[in-house]
Structure formats: C-alpha cells, structure tokens
C-alpha cells in the first residue's frame, strides 16, 4: 500500500508523518487490497480555533473513498477521517461479499 502525505502551505513534522503512517496502516485490517492512500493537510482560516483540515482518500480496485474533517489538531482530524473511512470500507467489503 502506497501512502502519500501532502501538506499544503506548511511542512509536516516527522512526528505527524509517522503518526499518519501508523494510523493509515491500520486500515488494512478492514480491507486488505488497498492500493494507495493520499492524505492532504492544510490550515484553513488561521484566526479560527478549529483550523486544521485533513482529507484522506483511499483507493481500492474498482472504487475510492474519501473523508474530510476540520479540527483543532491534525491528529484529531486524521483520526476522525480514518474512523469514517473504516465504516466505508466495511460497507464496501460487505457489498463485495454479497455479490
């Protein structure tokens, strides 16, 4: 599984990147044929409290899934995105099984 992390208008720390790598790896528990994961991070409205936006796109054969969240921290936003994607992947796997 290829993981691409893109930070827009700032440099993501090594700590943040390793956090994302570790969390994204857990998605394989829910669907084992993930081809690629793209994570985009950006700061929106610097004056607002909740200004860290994370978007995560998961590509699998014959489909792709996306989640986008805005929170206080990038870690929290990534966590919420991955929770949403876990649900999407489980649903997708169920549909594949029922065909």
- pLDDT attached to residue 2: 94
- pLDDT attached to residue 5: 96
CB distance 41 to 34 below 8 Å? no
Q: Give me the DSSP letters along 36-52.
A: EEEEEEEE--TTSSS-E
Q: What pTM was estimated for this model as a whole?
A: 0.91
Q: Minimal CA–CA distance to 7: which of 88, 77, 80? A: 77
- Structural domain including 19 reads 2-98
pLDDT digits (tens, 9 = 90+) for 1-19: 999 999 998 899 999 999 9
Residue with the two structure tokens 């870690």: 75
Average pLDDT over residues 83-97: 93
Average pLDDT over residues 21-49: 91
Q: Minimal CA–CA distance to 85: which of 53, 38, 50, 17? A: 38
Total domain count, the chain: 1
The Cα-based distances of 40 to 16, 69, 98 in angstroms read 12, 11, 33
- In CATH, what number is assigned to the domain containing residue 64? 3.30.160.100
Tell me the pLDDT of the chain averaged across its residues: 93
- pLDDT attached to residue 91: 94
Which of residues 40 and 44 earns the better pLDDT score? 40
């Amino acid at each position: 599984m290829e993981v691409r992390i893109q930070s827009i208008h700032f440099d993501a720390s090594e700590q943040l990147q390793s956090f994302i790598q570790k969390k994204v790896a857990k998605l394989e528990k829910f669907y084992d044929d993930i081809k690629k994961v793209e994570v985009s991070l950006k700061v929106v409205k610097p004056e607002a409290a909740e200004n860290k936006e994370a978007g995560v796109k998961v590509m699998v054969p014959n489909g792709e899934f996306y989640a986008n969240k805005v929170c206080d921290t990038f870690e929290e936003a990534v966590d919420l995105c991955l929770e949403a994607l876990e649900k999407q992947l489980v649903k997708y796997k169920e549909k594949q099984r029922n065909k």
